[in-house]
Amino acid sequence: MRNYEVMVIFDPNLDERTVAPSLEEFLGVVRNDGGSVEKVDVWGKRRLAYEINKNSEGIYAVIELTAKPETVKELDRQLHIAEDVVRTKVLRPSVH
């Protein structure tokens, strides 16, 4: 089990209130696989430093979790497939 930090950018055309529930759905993978979610932080809408897919804004969310490497890989894969997700980043803060 390892510590991870996952950052997700959602489509800005989404309603901000729907982000948290849909994020929970994704995190079901982690919980079912014996991992735990420590913190979910939805930043809300934020200006992007450059345009992504013609959008100048994005809804940011940061998740801290503990899980097995395979579980996080699966979570990242599923996030990539989802159309509402613009970009993701998985990081291990404890390494540094």
Task: Identify whether the C-beta of residue 70 lies closer than 8 Å to the C-beta of residue 29.
Answer: no
For other proteins, the closer of residues 32 and 96 by Cβ is 96
Task: Identify whether the C-beta of residue 78 lies closer than 8 Å to the C-beta of residue 32.
Answer: no
Least spacing, CB of residue 41 vs other proteins, in Å: 10
Least spacing, CB of residue 9 vs other proteins, in Å: 7
Note the residues at the interface with other proteins (CB under 8 A): 7, 9, 48-50, 52, 58, 60, 62, 87, 89, 91, 93, 96
Which amino acid is it at 55?
N
Length of the chain: 96
Least spacing, CB of residue 82 vs other proteins, in Å: 17
For other proteins, the closer of residues 33 and 52 by Cβ is 52
Task: Identify whether the C-beta of residue 27 lies closer than 8 Å to the C-beta of residue 37.
Answer: yes
